[in-house]
């Protein structure tokens, strides 16, 4: 990080503080129990990020894709960055700065003893950074923020453009096309050029999982319909008609979940467009969902599923990818809304 003499953190002249030097300093004071460099880098950058909050973020976190340097393929980048062989990967800088929250990092440094903070401050001062043991936590957080902004080419106090995404080698990931494009054989064709979608099929184990909220909501429906207690532990005992219904709901949910997985690495605004799709779907089915015409949850659910298949979804540019989202995936959006707690219950919608 090249900082001139007017920089508020500088105590003298011009100095180049790289991410490699900064991490080498910080490793002596926080995350000292992290034995490997990738583990330390993962821990350090996670301290500077907000916790995953939205349902999509939680799902990404379950796959170790929310915080950087947790995946095996990212570990070599951590070694290179720490050694000074490369800068912060663009994708990492984008992810961290786009979700920047300094609270945990500040708490970690504040929790150090006074003498330890004094030693940390001394090392930063030897690299030209002005600080005291009392403000070294704020200074460290600001240094990291500056390094991220410099890597992303951002001016001071600017945020990352929300739809600008790049991969590990700095190539821009395009947004979902604004005009209709064909989808075939696992690829989207833009101006005749294919954009390959990530094929991450849903496993049989996932399809049979009963751990998601939409399954709990279906259990409530079946309990009311059959007048017998149904839980995720005894779903195998459902009558054939209800068992077939459950299978169809699983297919719908994992239909749209499969789409989400396909597009998330191919388009920079994929998650935003999925959110827009869910918003549009909810607005399309809201009146039916809250209607007093339906005395039972099963009837209400069936009416909502019928309504969503005839609802035009236009808010998300994902609908420009012809053949990607059909009626099955539309139905799956209703179950995503349950997972997001937008739909509280099919049986008692106003509870």
In a 3-state reduction of DSSP, which class is residue 87? coil
Please say whether the beta carbons of 175 and 269 come within 8 A: yes
pLDDT at 235: 92
The reported pLDDT for the residue numbered 73 is 65
Question: What's the pLDDT score for residue 14?
Answer: 34
Tens of pLDDT, residue by residue over 196-253, are 887 666 677 777 778 899 999 999 999 999 999 999 999 999 999 999 999 999 999 9
Q: What is the DSSP letter of 344?
A: -
> In this predicted structure, what is the pLDDT of residue 4?
37
Q: What is the pLDDT along the chain (351 residues), one digit of tens a residue?
A: 333 334 444 433 334 689 999 999 999 999 888 889 999 998 999 999 888 765 555 665 565 567 888 766 677 888 889 998 888 888 788 888 888 888 899 999 999 999 999 999 999 998 888 899 989 999 999 999 999 888 888 754 444 344 345 544 445 667 888 888 898 878 888 877 888 887 666 677 777 778 899 999 999 999 999 999 999 999 999 999 999 999 999 999 999 999 998 888 788 788 888 988 999 999 999 999 999 999 899 999 999 999 999 999 988 999 999 999 999 999 999 999 999 999 999 999 986
Exposure string of 54-74, with b = 16+ CB inside 10 Å and e = fewer, is ebbbebbeeeebbbbbbeeeb
pLDDT reported for residue 153: 80
Measured from the Cβ of residue 228, the count of other Cβ atoms closer than 10 Å reads 11
Q: What are phi and psi of 13, to 5 degrees?
A: 45, -150
Report the pLDDT value the prediction gives residue 116, as an integer from 0 to 100: 93
DSSP secondary-structure letter at 175? P
Chain centroid offset of residue 143 CA: 25
Instruction: Give the strand pairing for 2-3 and 193-196.
Output: unpaired
Residue 158 to residue 155: CA distance in whole angstroms:
6
| Token pair 């401050």 in the structure block, residue | 121
Question: In DSSP terms, which residues pair with 3 in a beta bridge?
Answer: 15
Q: Are 268 and 174 in contact (CB under 8 A)?
A: yes
pLDDT at 8 (0 to 100): 42
Q: What's the CA angle centered on 328, arms 325 and 332, to 5 degrees?
A: 90
pLDDT at position 61 is 54
pLDDT tens for each residue of 51-90: 876 555 566 556 556 788 876 667 788 888 999 888 888 8
Nearest-angstrom CA–CA distance, 238 and 226: 9
189: left (phi over 0), alpha (psi -120 to 50) or beta: beta
pLDDT computed for residue 172 by the predictor? 61
Is residue 178 within 8 Å of residue 315, measured between CB atoms?
Answer: no
Q: Are strands 181-184 and 321-322 parallel, antiparallel or unpaired?
A: parallel
Q: What is the pLDDT of residue 331?
A: 98
Q: What is the pTM of this model?
A: 0.54
């Amino acid at each position: 990080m090249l900082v001139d003499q007017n920089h508020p953190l500088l105590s003298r002249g011009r100095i180049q503080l790289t991410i490699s030097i900064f991490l080498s300093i910080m490793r002596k004071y926080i995350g000292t129990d992290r034995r490997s460099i990738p583990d330390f880098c993962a821990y350090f950058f996670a301290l500077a990020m907000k916790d995953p909050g939205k349902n999509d973020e939680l799902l990404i976190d379950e796959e170790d894709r929310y915080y950087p340097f947790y995946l095996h393929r990212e570990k070599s980048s951590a070694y290179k960055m720490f050694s000074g062989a490369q800068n912060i990967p663009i994708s990492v800088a984008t992810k961290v700065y786009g979700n920047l929250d300094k609270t945990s990092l500040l708490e970690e440094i504040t929790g150090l003893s006074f003498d330890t903070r004094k030693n940390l401050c001394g090392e930063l001062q030897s690299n030209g950074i002005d600080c005291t043991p009392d403000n070294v936590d704020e200074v460290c957080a600001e240094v990291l923020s500056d390094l991220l902004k410099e890597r992303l080419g951002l001016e001071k106090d600017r945020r990352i453009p929300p739809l600008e995404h790049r991969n590990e080698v700095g190539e821009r990931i395009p947004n979902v096309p604004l005009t209709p494009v064909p989808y075939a054989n696992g690829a989207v064709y833009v101006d005749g050029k294919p954009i390959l979608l990530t094929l991450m099929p849903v496993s049989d184990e996932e399809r049979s999982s009963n751990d998601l909220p939409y399954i709990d909501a279906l259990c409530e429906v079946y309990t009311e319909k059959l007048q017998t207690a149904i839980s995720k532990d005894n779903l195998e005992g459902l009558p054939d008609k209800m068992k077939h219904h459950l299978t169809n709901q699983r297919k719908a949910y994992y239909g749209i979940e499969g789409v989400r997985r396909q597009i998330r690495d191919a388009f920079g605004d994929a998650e935003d467009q999925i959110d827009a799709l869910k918003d549009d779907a909810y607005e399309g089915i809201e009146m039916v969902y809250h209607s007093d015409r339906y005395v039972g949850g099963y009837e209400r659910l069936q009416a909502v599923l019928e309504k969503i298949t005839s609802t035009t979804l236009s808010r998300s540019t994902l609908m420009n990818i012809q053949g990607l989202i059909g009626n099955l995936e539309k139905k799956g959006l209703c179950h995503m809304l349950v997972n997001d707690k937008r739909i509280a219950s099919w049986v008692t919608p106003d509870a």
